[in-house]
Amino acid sequence: MASKVLHAIYRDDDLLLQAVKQIREARYHIGEIYCPFPVHGLDKAMGLAPTRLAITSFMYGLVGLCVAVAMMNFIMIEDWPQDIGGKPSFSFIQNMPAFVPIMFELTVFFAAHLMVITFYMRSRLWPFKKAENPDVRTTDDVFLMEVDAANHNIDDLTDFLYKTGASEIKLIE
């Protein structure tokens, strides 16, 4: 059996948020929602798990800090120690106040760049990827909700979606 999906179009973000709550209470499965802008509270209304991207950002920052410390220790202390401005290069601890800006910058650099790469990989975005937007109007002024209709009566589900405030409903097979 082919999967059936109903595309319900909503014109207002508050109406969409109320519809999501009603649809979840009725135990229908929402596959995806396409919005022209972020809707505050939509992720909680859909029951999505919180993101773990902040944890990965922290870990990437720690990697950047470790790379900065190892790089400066090797370059400025072990490999080629120099007396710059009267500051001796006997140990990393003695010179650490001068290294703080570099440690900060590499922490931010690693966290930012690796987060962008992680976000694109997690979202399955890459160059030359074909857009997956089912309706071009969702980039401008309407909200589209995909509701799984495989195991439900299409007419009942369509009536229910109209009652939640949908302005258009289209069956996709």
Tokens representing residue 96 in the block: 């650490």
106 contact partners, CB below 8 Å, separation of at least 6: 64, 65, 67, 68, 71
* Separation CA 76–CA 148 (nearest Å): 61
Give the distance from CA 5 to its chain's centroid: 24
Q: Specify whether the backbone of 27 is left (phi greater than 0), alpha (psi in -120 to 50) or beta.
A: left
Q: Domain extents for the chain?
A: 5-36+141-172, 53-122
What's the pTM value of the predicted model, to 2 decimals?
A: 0.71
pLDDT reported for residue 2: 53
pLDDT reported for residue 85: 72
The amino acid that residue 104 corresponds to is: F
109 contact partners, CB below 8 Å, separation of at least 6: 64
Q: How many CB atoms lie within 10 A of CB 66?
A: 14
19 contact partners, CB below 8 Å, separation of at least 6: 8, 10, 145, 161, 164, 165, 166
The mean pLDDT values, 10 residues at a time, for the chain of 173 residues are 83 95 94 94 92 93 97 88 73 84 96 94 87 88 92 91 94 87
pLDDT reported for residue 77: 84
pLDDT reported for residue 126: 84
* Separation CA 69–CA 62 (nearest Å): 11
Tokens representing residue 49 in the block: 């798990």
Give the total residue count for the chain.
173
CATH 3.30.70.120 fits 5-36+141-172, yes or no: yes
Tokens representing residue 162 in the block: 């109209």
């919180």: which residue's tokens? Answer: 50
